[in-house]
Amino acid sequence: MKVIVLTINPYKEKDAIISGISENEYITFLARGIRDPKSKNAAINNALCIADIELMDGNFKHPILKSSKQLFTPLRLEMDAKYLGTLIMMNEIVNYLFPDEEKPKMFKVLEEAVSELKKKDDWLLTLLIFMAYALREGGFELEVNKCVNCGKKTNIVAFSFIEGGFLCADCISPEISRDLNKNQMLLLRKVFNSRDFHLLGSEYDFDEAYVLLQKMIEFTEEAFGYHFKNLCLILG
């Protein structure tokens, strides 16, 4: 069974209770001796690694790890704060924004995100695309292709998080906040319309994307009622 490791909680001296997701389920299991560097399973003792595992029943409330083979690790020799912060934040999104039964629907996008991040090192766009996917899956689809009120596709002049998307000149009013400028609106549209990470490596204005990320984080925290714990790595 292929799984992405999400959490590793120490248990007794060298054991750990590991939680992760496969394509179909959220699973928790006991990994005996995994915190011993000499353990045959030590290679999967890091969050967001991808592994092929085999479990067995035992005298424990969770299944017990029988064997494992690491398929991918996001770790690399050099990891700056932005890279590490992006990994942590994607893990937080899956772990804390979704109930256990809904976590597996993030499996494929998380698998692709960690792989593409390691290859292309475009942390900012990776995180924007991943957050857009999480918002859609969490029921917070933002309308970025037409006016959210009347459906008109022309003369779009503003975007409002509160209203839920783009607004045309006929539907905007003074009391509605204009949350994004034109460049940020265009980037948001690209990000939300992207169903994979093919945009990574494309040219974009870093400063505009950075402001967009800040505003998406603020909206995500408000929408899900969760405060991210390691924003200093991303926004510091």
Quote the tokens at residue 14.
């060298």
What value does the mean pLDDT take over residues 94-118? Answer: 97
Q: Which residue has the tokens 């006016």?
A: 147
Q: Tell me, yes or no, whether 18 and 61 share the same domain.
A: yes
Residue 180 backbone zone (phi > 0: left; psi -120 to 50: alpha; other: beta)? beta
Sign of the torsion formed by the C-alpha atoms of 203, 207, 212 and 217: positive
> CA 2 to CA 197: how far, in whole Å?
21
What is the predicted pLDDT for the residue at 12?
87
Q: Tell me, yes or no, whether 229 and 199 share the same domain.
A: yes
Q: Which residue has the tokens 């690790």?
A: 73
Cα Rg, the chain, nearest whole Å: 20
Q: Determine the structural domain holding residue 180 and report its residue range.
A: 81-142+174-235
What value does the mean pLDDT take over residues 164-182? Answer: 95
What is the predicted pLDDT for the residue at 60?
87
Q: Tell me, yes or no, whether 117 and 190 share the same domain.
A: yes
> CA 6 to CA 91: how far, in whole Å?
7
2 contacts 22 by C-beta, under 8 angstroms: yes
> Percent of the chain scored above 70 by pLDDT?
100
What is the predicted pLDDT for the residue at 201?
86
Q: Tell me, yes or no, whether 62 and 126 share the same domain.
A: no
Chosen domain end from 46, 72, 98: 72
What value does the mean pLDDT take over residues 215-231? Answer: 96
| pLDDT value at 190 more than 90 | yes
What is the predicted pLDDT for the residue at 42?
94
| Per-residue b or e along 58-86, where b marks 16 or more CB atoms closer than 10 Å to that residue's CB | eeeebbebeebebeebbeeeeeeebbbbb
What letter would DSSP give residue 143?
B
Q: Tell me, yes or no, whether 187 and 227 share the same domain.
A: yes
Please name the amino acid found at residue 143: E
> Percent of the chain scored above 90 by pLDDT?
94
What value does the mean pLDDT take over residues 109-116? Answer: 98
Q: Tell me, yes or no, whether 49 and 89 share the same domain.
A: no
What is the predicted pLDDT for the residue at 166?
98
Q: Please name every residue paired with 16 in a beta bridge, in sequence order, or none if there are none.
A: 10, 31
Q: pTM of this prediction? A: 0.95
Q: Tell me, yes or no, whether 190 and 114 share the same domain.
A: yes
3 state DSSP class of 75: coil
Total domains in the chain come to 2
Q: Tell me, yes or no, whether 8 and 116 share the same domain.
A: no
What is the predicted pLDDT for the residue at 125?
97
Chosen domain end from 51, 72, 93: 72
What is the predicted pLDDT for the residue at 130?
98
| pLDDT value at 191 more than 90 | yes
Q: Tell me, yes or no, whether 54 and 85 share the same domain.
A: no
Q: Tell me, yes or no, whether 25 and 112 share the same domain.
A: no
160 contacts 167 by C-beta, under 8 angstroms: yes
> CA 82 to CA 79: how far, in whole Å?
8
Q: Tell me, yes or no, whether 54 and 86 share the same domain.
A: no
> CA 117 to CA 33: how far, in whole Å?
30
What value does the mean pLDDT take over residues 179-184? Answer: 96
Q: What is the pLDDT of residues 31-76, one digit of tens each?
A: 999 999 999 999 999 999 999 999 999 888 999 999 999 999 999 9
Round the average pLDDT of the chain to a whole number and report it.
96
What is the predicted pLDDT for the residue at 138?
96
Helical spans, DSSP H, in 154-205 = 182-193
Q: Tell me, yes or no, whether 64 and 123 share the same domain.
A: no
pLDDT band at 186 (very low <50, low <70, confident <90, very high): very high
Chosen domain end from 72, 96, 111: 72
Count of C-beta atoms within a 10 Å radius of residue 136: 14
3 state DSSP class of 161: coil
Q: What is the pLDDT of residues 1-34, one digit of tens each?
A: 999 999 999 998 899 999 999 999 999 999 999 9
Phi, psi (degrees; rounded to nearest 5) at 19: -120, 145
* CATH number for the domain harbouring residue 25: 2.40.50.140
| pLDDT value at 103 more than 90 | yes
